[in-house]
Amino acid sequence: MILQGIDPRMTEALEGASSLQLFQLKALIEGMLADPRRGIAARANLHLGQPVQFVDFRDGQMRRGKIIALKDTQATVLEEGTKRTWKIPCLAIQGYHGAERRDDHALYEPPPEPAIATTHAREFQRGDTVTFNDREGRNITGVIVRINQRTATLGTSDGETWRVPFHVLRHVLDV
């Protein structure tokens, strides 16, 4: 199986390799990616709002987006065009200079991280676009249609309704 988005030179170089050689290469790559120094270096080069590119491992296509959330080993990226959110290992992301960047010397200053991770109802309003992870780990994005004392009711694009506590909600940045 040849993935369309992969550099054809890499495919050509590996075309004649035996299965054993490909498995050796796979073990080498997995070992290199597991090196914690590589992960720390990858995370250190990423910040909120940064334009990035990444590989969709389903079809090998390169995709672009902006980082909207960061954790130690993964980032949440809002894809250009589709506005789909992706949770991607920091190792699988590369920054790029997007067309919207006007001055090569101007750097994005991300907002300061909140000191306390408590979330309250007053931080959200009806009409806000928010996201959260359901119990199965799926990323759900919706619009707040009702605010209660401890929860918000969200409507999703596929017609579902969710009642979600505020502490699991995250604002979706309009990029």
Residue type, 113: E
Please indicate, yes or no, if residue 154 is contained in any of the structural domains: yes
> Is residue 90 located within the same domain as residue 143?
no
- Which helix H or strand E contains 41, and what residues bound it? helix 36-44
Half-sphere exposure of 50 (CA within 13 A, CB side): 19
Confidence of residue 9 (pLDDT cuts 50, 70, 90): confident
Instruction: Give the domain CATH number at 59.
Output: 2.30.30.140
Whether residues 91 and 127 share a domain: the answer is: no
Domain-embedded: residue 43: yes
Is beta strand 85-89 parallel, antiparallel or unpaired with respect to 74-79? antiparallel
Let me know if residue 103 belongs to a domain: no
| pLDDT the model gives residue 77 | 92
Q: Which runs of consecutive H residues, i.e. helices, occur in 83-124?
A: none
Overall pTM > 0.75: no
Q: pLDDT value at position 44?
A: 86
- Band (pLDDT 50/70/90 cuts) for residue 59 is confident
